[in-house]
Structure 1
Amino acid sequence: MLAAAALFAERGYEGTSVDDLVQGLGVHRGSLYKVFGSKRGLYLTALRRHLDQDVLPLTAAIGTADGLGPALAQAAAAYDSGPAAGLLLLAAVERAPVDPEAAELVAEGLGALEAAIGRVPGAAGRPALAEALAAAVLGLRLRSRASGGRPAAGAVLALTDHLRA
């Protein structure tokens, strides 16, 4: 499942063919269809695994930070190059608008990040702030990914410096 998630994170759903999956996973086409039913079935399974194994543990850790600065730095690092960097964000822009099941999984992942930030001192009891900060982390990451530019961590840290001032 990790290899499928990596392929989808790198190439997107539309950019990953069944042949890519068969070759990348080392399985027969018939086996892929027998187990997952379709490319979409494999995609949803890979996205669920990505949430359970990568995103949700990271967000749980973010929620234990002792302040907004450390929490946002941890979130930015996780979404810049860590395990949460790829598939969830790509699913949010590529599949969630057209696939209700993918949208539900994306909403779970994004909601977990917002909830985690909302447990941190400085944002606790301020759901709108937690939502805005989570959106800032993710938006900066998407911008960075789209432009091939600098990682989002620097911009997120500048935001936390501003919040402290």
Structure 2
Amino acid sequence: MGRPREFDIESAVTAATKLFVDEGYEGCSMDRLVQATGVHRGSLYATFGSKRGIFVECLRASIVQGADRSELLLVALGELAARDEEVRTLCAQALTVWGEDAAQELGRRLLARAGLNEGSP
């Protein structure tokens, strides 16, 4: 019989989401996820399966919770959606939920991430 899970999944997902937003998917290592979440590597793997599994759960949570999903969505669209069907489907779902303002908001966030102001050429 396995040991019961001894960490709060929601807190781990919140910490992982912040890390993915700050460092991107490719820039984020399992070591950094362990450090940021405070969860043992084995527990992360047992719960999520992989770094990708953690990212997918973060993306799902951001859609369900109605949180500001634009930053994580940019990471998903920029780094994973082209090669990952499940992530692509979740991105489409997020954009549908977000509605008509999605393109404008993503554009603003993308410019901000690039360090450009809206009024800049």
**Where on the TM-score scale, by shorter chain, does this alignment land: which range?**
0.7 to 0.9
Q: CA RMSD in A?
A: 1.9
- Whole-angstrom distance in 2 between the partners of 1:137 and 1:45: 22
Conserved 8 A contact 2:74-2:110:
yes
Deviations 1:84-112 (A, max 9, x none): 34111221111111111111111111122
Q: Any unmatched runs of 5+ in structure 1?
A: 56-82, 118-132, 156-165
Taking the TM superposition and a 5 Å limit, the aligned residue runs for 1:65-104 are 83-104=68-89
Q: State the identity %.
A: 47
Structure holding more helix per residue: 1
Taking the TM superposition and a 5 Å limit, the aligned residue runs for 1:55-134 are 55=67, 83-114=68-99, 117=100, 134=102
Q: Any unmatched runs of 5+ in structure 2?
A: 1-12
Aligned pair partner of 1:51 in 58, 63, 67: 63
Instruction: Confirm or deny that 1:144 pairs with 2:118.
Output: no
Aligned pair partner of 2:36 in 20, 24, 31: 24
2:10 maps to what in 1? none
* Number of aligned positions between the proteins: 108
